[in-house]
Structure 1
Amino acid sequence: MTARHEFQPPTRVTPEQSGPALSRALTWLFSVTCALAVANVYFAQPLLASMARSLAVSPGLIGVVVTVTQIGYAAGLLLIVPLGDRLDRRTLILGQLLLSAAALTVVALAQHWTILLGAMLLVGLLAVVVQVVVACAATLAEPAQRGQAVGTVTSGVVLGILLARFTSGVIADLAGWRAVYGVSAGLMLVMAAVLYKKLPVTAAAPVRHSWWGLVASTCRLFISEPMLRTRGVFALLIFAAFSVLWTAMVLPLSAPPLSFSHTQVGLFGLAGLAGALAASRAGRWADQGLGQRVTGLSLVLLLLSWLPTAWAETSWLALVAGVILLDFAVQAVHVTNQSLILAVRPEAQSRLVGAYMCFYSTGSALGAVTATQVYALWGWLAVCLLGAAISAAALVFWWHDAGRSR
C-alpha cells in the first residue's frame, strides 16, 4: 500500500474485493506476523525443565504451563476471533498485538507459579490474533487462490511453531528463560508498528449480531456445518499427537545420559521445517479437490512417525526422522482442514476459523498434560505408544469418513 501524503488513511477493503488487495508482500507480512504470534504459545516447551527448577515445580506438573496456555487459546477462539466478522480486522489485530506485549512482559517478570499461569493464560488468549490474520488473508484472496493464500500464511504459523523451540533455547542458554518472553514482547510492539502502516482496513461483512450473538452463532456452527465437525475431529486428534511429542520430548533429551542444552533441544524444531513446505503445498492440493486423499496419506505418515521416534533415547537421528514425518503430516492435514472449512461460509470465515481452532486447542491441551504424566509414570516408550494410539484413531476416523462420502 502506498500513501500520497503523510495523513492519508489506510485503504479500506470490502469483502467483495480480492486479488490486488492481497499482494505477495502483504501475504508474507501476514506470514511473519503469524510466525511471531504463534511462537508465544510454544516458547515454553523447551524451557519446561528450567521453569520447573526456577519456580520449584515438579516435572510432572510443569506441563500445566502448556495446558493453561492452550486453555487461554481456546477461550480466545470463542470470545475474540468471531469479532473479525463484525469489526475492522485491522483494529482487532493491532489491539491483540499490543496486549500480547503486555502479557509477555508479565511472564518475563513472574516470580510465583500462580502469576506465571495467569500470564500464560493471557498469552494464549491473545495469540488467537493468528486466526484473525488467517481469516483476513482468506477474505482478501481470490476464491480460486484462497487455499494457496491460506497455505502461505499457515506456513508462517508452522515456522513460528518450529523456530520457537530453537530460538527460545538459544536465548535461554544465553540469558535465561525469562529473556525469551522479554524479547518476544518487544517483537510484538515492532509488528504492531509495521502493520499499523501496511495493513488495509478490512470492512467486515454486515453481521448484525452483538458480541454474545457472535459467540452463540459460532457455537451453532458446530451443529449446522458437518464439514466443520469432521475437520475439527481431525484437528483435535492430530494436534493431540503433535503436543504429545513436543511437550514430552524435552524431558528425556534434558535428562542423563543425553543432557542436551536448551539450544540443542530447540534444534530439533529445525528438523520439522518440512512441515512448513507441506503447509503451502497442501493448500494448492485442496484447491485442486484432493483434500480427502491428502488427509489419508498424511495420517498414514503420522502413524508411521512414531516408530523411529520410539528410539529417541538411544538415537537422536531416529528422533529427527520421526519429527520430520510427524510435522509434515500434521501441517498437511491442518492446512487442508482450513482450506476446506473456509470455503463453506465465506461470510463467516472468522467464526469458522475460531470454531475449528477450538478443536486444535483442545487436542493440544489434552496432549500436553497427558504426555508429561505418562512420561513421569511409565517413560518415553509409553509416550510413543500414546501418540501412536491417537494417530491410529485419526486414521480410523478418516477411513470411516471416506467410506461415508463415497
Structure 2
Amino acid sequence: MPTSPQPSPSADAPERHPHYSRATLWLLATIAGVSVANIYFNQPLLGDFRSAFPESAWLIGAVPASTQLGYALGMLVLAPLGDRFDRRLLILLQLAALGISLVIACTAPTLAVLIAASLAIGVVSTIAQQAVPFSAELAPAAERGHAVGTVMSGLLLGILLARTVSGFVAQYFGWRAVFGASVIATVALAVVVIARLPKSRPTSTLSYGKLLGSMRHLTLESPALREAALTGGSLFAAFSIFWSVLTLLLAGEPFHLGPQAAGLFGIVGAAGALAAPLAGKSADRRGPRAVISLCIGLTALSFVVFAFSARSIAGLIVGVIVLDVGVQAAQISNQSRIYALRPEARSRVNTVYMVAYFIGGALGSALASLAWHAMGWTGVCLAGLAATGLAGFSHWRRRERRAAANPRT
C-alpha cells in the first residue's frame, strides 16, 4: 500500500543545533555566573586586606581596581577569540588560568602579589563573554532572545550575589577562604564543562591581529551596533549611578546602616536577573526594540521612585526592583539585537557592545560621586535620569530604517 510522502522541512525553518537544550543553557548560565562573580568577590574584603597588609594600607584600593582593569583588558584581547576558535576549548583554558590565579590570590604573601593575581583574575574571568554568544550560536533564531536571557540570568545573579556570598564567607572563615572556595567551584565547573558542554563552530579564519582590527570596521559599518552600544552603556551608567552611592545614603540619616545592608540590596536586585529569561521571550515575540523602549521607561521611573525615597527603605526596595528589571531586560534585548546583525562575528560584536557597556558603568560611577558631593541624593537621582535620557535619545532618534530582510533588529 503506498504511503503518503513525508513533508519536507520548510526552507525557512530554523536550524536547530543538535546540542541545544535547557540543560546546556543552564550550564552556560552557571559558567557565566561563577566566572563573573570573581570580579566582585574582593569588594567587601577591603577591610580584611587592610588588616592583613597594614604596611601597604594605602594601596588597598588597587585590588578591586586591578580586577576591573583586567576584565576590560580581557574583553578586548580574549573575548573576540570565540569567533576564531572552539569556545568550549577557550572556556576550559580560561577556567584553568582562573583556578591558578585564584590559588595565587588565596596564598598571596604580600599585597603586591594579591594585586597582580587580581589583575589576572579579571582578565580570565571574561569566560562569561564566551558563554553568552555561545548560547546565541546554539539557539535557533526564534529562540535566541530566550537563550541569551537564560544565560544572562546566571551572569546577573553572579554579579548581584557575589558581594553577599563573599561577605558571609569572609566573616566566618576569613578572606583567603573566599578565594579558596572559588578555586573549588572553578575546578568543579571545569569537570562539568569537559563532560557536558558541546564544541562550538568557529566562524572566522582571520589572524589574531586582523580579528582585533575588524572590530573597528564592525563598529563603523553597523549603525544598529553603535545605537545599541550607546543605549546599553547609558543604561548601565544609570545603574552604576545608583549602586555607587547607595552605601553613602544608607550610612546617613535616618538609616545609619553599614555596607552589609547595601549588599543585601543585591538580593533584592536579583529580581532583575530572574526576569531576564522573560525579557528574552518578549524580545523573541514582540521584537527587541519594543522591549527596550519599555525598559527605558522603567529605568526612568525607578529614579523618580528613588527621588521620593531618601528616607524610606520600602521605597528604595521598590526602586531597586524596577531599576534592575528595566536595565537587565534592556541588556537582554540589546544583545538579542546585536547577535542577529553579524552571526559570523558574534564574539567581536559582543566585545564592542560590552566595552561600551562597561565604559558607561565607569562614567556612571564617576558622575555619581560628583552628583552626591554637589547636590546629595537629589543630584544622584537627576544624574540617573540624565543617563536614562541619553539612552532614550540614542534609542528613539532613528526611526526604523532597517531592510525587510532584517525587520526585528
TM-score interval, smaller chain: 0.7 to 0.9
**Aligned alpha-carbon RMSD (Å):** 3.1
The alpha-carbon deviation at position 104 of structure 1 amounts to 2.9
Q: Aligned runs of 1:87-166 on 2, under 5 Å?
A: 87-110=85-108, 114-166=112-164
Any gaps of 5 or more consecutive residues in structure 1?
1-15
User: Displacement, 1:363?
Assistant: 1.7
How far is 1:57 from its partner? Answer: 11
Q: 1:81 to 1:364 in 2, by over 3 A?
A: same
Check the 8 A contact 1:84/1:350 in 2, yes or no: yes
Q: From 389, 394, 404, give the equivalent of 1:392.
A: 389
CA contact (8 A) 2:75 2:351 kept: yes
Instruction: Give the SS at the match of 2:397.
Output: helix
Following superposition, the deviation at residue 324 of structure 1 comes to 0.7
Q: Deviations over 1:339-363 (max 9, x none)?
A: 0110111111111112211111212
Identity of aligned residues (%): 41
Match of 1:300 among 297, 306, 311: 297
Give, as a single letter, the amino acid of the residue that structure 2 aligns with 1:300. G
Distance 2:343 2:107 in 1: 42
Q: 1:17/1:57 Cα in 2 relative to 1: closer, same or farther (>3 Å)?
A: farther
What is the letter of the counterpart of residue 74 of structure 2?
A: G
The gaps in structure 2 that reach 5 residues or longer are: 1-13
Say if 1:25 and 1:404 are closer, same or farther in 2 by CA, change over 3 A. Answer: closer
Matched, 1:335 2:332: yes
**Normalising by structure 2, what TM-score?**
0.84
1:5-404 → structure 2 map (5 Å cutoff): 18-47=16-45, 66-110=64-108, 114-205=112-203, 207-253=204-250, 258-260=255-257, 263-310=260-307, 314-372=311-369, 375=372, 379-402=376-399
Q: 1:44-75 deviations in whole A, cap 9, x for unaligned? A: 44445665676679999977655543332222
Structure 1 194/284 Cα, relative in aligned 2: closer, same or farther at 3 Å? same
Deviations 1:300-347 (A, max 9, x none): 211221233346663222221121111101101100011011011111
Change (3 A) 1:240 1:54: farther
Amino acid at match of 2:305: P
The alpha-carbon distance between structure 1 residues 263 and 190, as it changes in their structure 2 partners (threshold 3 A), is: farther
- For these two proteins, the number of residue pairs brought into alignment is 390
- Report the Cα distance in structure 2 between the residues aligned to 1:186 and 1:312, rounded to whole angstroms: 41
Q: Which has the higher contact order (CA 8 A, sep 6+)?
A: 1
- 1:168 alignment partner AA: S
Moved more, 368-377 or 348-357: 368-377
Deviation of residue 256 (structure 1)? 7.7
Q: Distance in 2 between matches of 1:54 and 1:261?
A: 21
Q: How far apart are the structure 1 equivalents of 2:56 and 2:252?
A: 14
Between the aligned partners of 1:235 and 1:64, the Cα distance in structure 2 is: 27
- Distance in 1 (alpha carbons) for counterparts of 2:396 and 2:95: 40
Structure 2 contact 45–175 (Cα < 8 Å) conserved: yes
Q: 1:302 to 1:215 in 2, by over 3 A?
A: same
1:40–1:164 CA contact under 8 A, matched in 2:
yes
Query: After alignment, is 265-274 or 360-369 more displaced?
Result: 360-369
> Contact 1:302 / 1:329 at 8 angstroms: preserved in 2?
yes
Q: What is the distance in 2 between the residues matched to 1:57 and 1:237?
A: 39
Counterpart-to-counterpart distance in 2, 1:256 and 1:118 = 39
Q: TM-score, normalised by structure 1?
A: 0.85
> How far apart, in 2, do the equivalents of 1:45 and 1:301 lie?
28
1:130 Cα deviation (Å)?
Answer: 0.6
Partner of 2:234, secondary structure, is helix
Distance 1:401 1:185, change over 3 A: farther
Q: Computing the radius of gyration over CA atoms, which structure comes out larger, 1 or 2? A: 2
**For the residues of structure 1 that align with 2:57 and 2:237, how far apart are their CA atoms?**
20
Describe the shift of the 1:117–1:253 C-alpha distance in structure 2 as closer, same or farther (beyond 3 A). farther
Q: 1:174 to 1:317 in 2, by over 3 A?
A: farther
SS at match of 1:41: coil
